[in-house]
Amino acid sequence: MSIRLLKNSVSRRALLSTRLYHPNPIEYANSTVVAPLTYTMDSPQSRILTHCLQNEVPHWGFTERALLKSIQAVGYDSSMMSVLGASNSPSIFHSSPAVMELVKFNLVKKRHALTESLAAAGLGSPAALPSLEHLLVKRLQMDVPLSKQLGDLFTQLALPSQFMVNVAVPELFRLSDDMIYFSNEKDHFDTAWYSKRLGVSLAYTTSKLFMAQDNSLNCQDTIEFARDKLHRIMTLGEYYNNVEEYAWYSIMTTVNRAKAGFSRH
């Protein structure tokens, strides 16, 4: 009983004093799915898509052929293709719904894998979290095996369609939000909240574009490019803060001088 009380008091202290994730893992049971996916990671859909990403996509790209090979390799009937694409609306300008699901799964699974182990570390102290640069590089390195297929992936994501609005753009936002939240980067409560996420999204997207044409060993040039890009964006943020601070200081000084002048007369 006393151990339980002690545990309760410890979790209460952790809950009220440290950085948490909404909904927090201290109080709530883990969700069965990783949103926006609608199936669990041990479902047939996940097994097929994981197999496809690891074994077929590096050779065949994000295509139905790659999916069909994985469906057969995992031991299902080819009609499974329609189950895979069930949560996406068909689009005449886009690939099949199953390919859209493969693209979505690639984005969501890698985003989840990036921060999965960090939630527990972050509960103790934000200082235990890695840097933003580390997370950006780690996410880019996850795509090194697919570097030859990135052009195809970008086409799928950037094609103006419902898929771009509902999946591609929100996933980019979630990724940049996760990278800032699960790193030791300072977060903000004003418009800087938006500009920082926009900057990180920009650094990530341009680095991925660079990676699509990168021929260096293990995409080393891309990693250098990403580090440089992120550093430039953060420096730009510092410039803005300094200018804003100086402008505010100047306004206050002018107002106080004017008030002092008036009070003398």
Partner 1 sequence: MLAQCNFLKSVPVGVRAFSSLNALRATPKKGTLKAGGNALQESKFEPLSEAQRAYLDRALRVNQAGELGANYIYQGQIFVLSRRHPELRPTLQHMWEQEVFHHDTFNALQIKHRVRPSLLTPFWKVGAVAMGAGTALISPEAAMACTEAVETVIGGHYNEQLRCLDSQFEQRKADGTSGVPEEVQSLTAKVKLFRDQELEHLDTAIKHDSRLAVPYMMITETIKGVCRLAIWGAERI
Q: Which is nearer to partner 1, 239 or 262 (CB)?
A: 262
Residue 121: C-alpha distances to residues 22, 27, 88, 115, 137 (Å):
15, 16, 35, 10, 19
Give the footprint of partner 1 on residues 47-86 (CB under 8 A): 83, 86
Q: Does 124 bind partner 1 (CB under 8 A)?
A: no
Q: Does 245 bind partner 1 (CB under 8 A)?
A: no
Take residue 225 and report the two structure tokens written for it: 């490019």
Q: Dihedral sign for Cα 172, 176, 179, 182, please.
A: negative
| Number of residues this chain uses to bind partner 1 (CB under 8 A) | 33
Of 9-17, 134-142, 202-210, 214-222, which segment contacts partner 1 by CB under 8 A? 9-17
Q: Does 265 bind partner 1 (CB under 8 A)?
A: no
Least CB distance to partner 1 at residue 38 (A): 5
- Residue 96 near residue 161 (C-beta atoms within 8 A): no
Q: Does 1 bind partner 1 (CB under 8 A)?
A: no
Give the footprint of partner 1 on residues 194-213 (CB under 8 A): 194
Query: Residues with Cβ < 8 Å from 212, sequence gap 6 or more?
Result: 147, 150, 151, 154
Q: Does 258 bind partner 1 (CB under 8 A)?
A: no
Position of tokens 């009609």? 79
- Residue 229 near residue 207 (C-beta atoms within 8 A): yes
Binding residues for partner 1, per CB under 8 A? 12, 15-16, 19-24, 27-33, 38-40, 43, 83, 86-87, 177, 181, 187-191, 193-194, 259
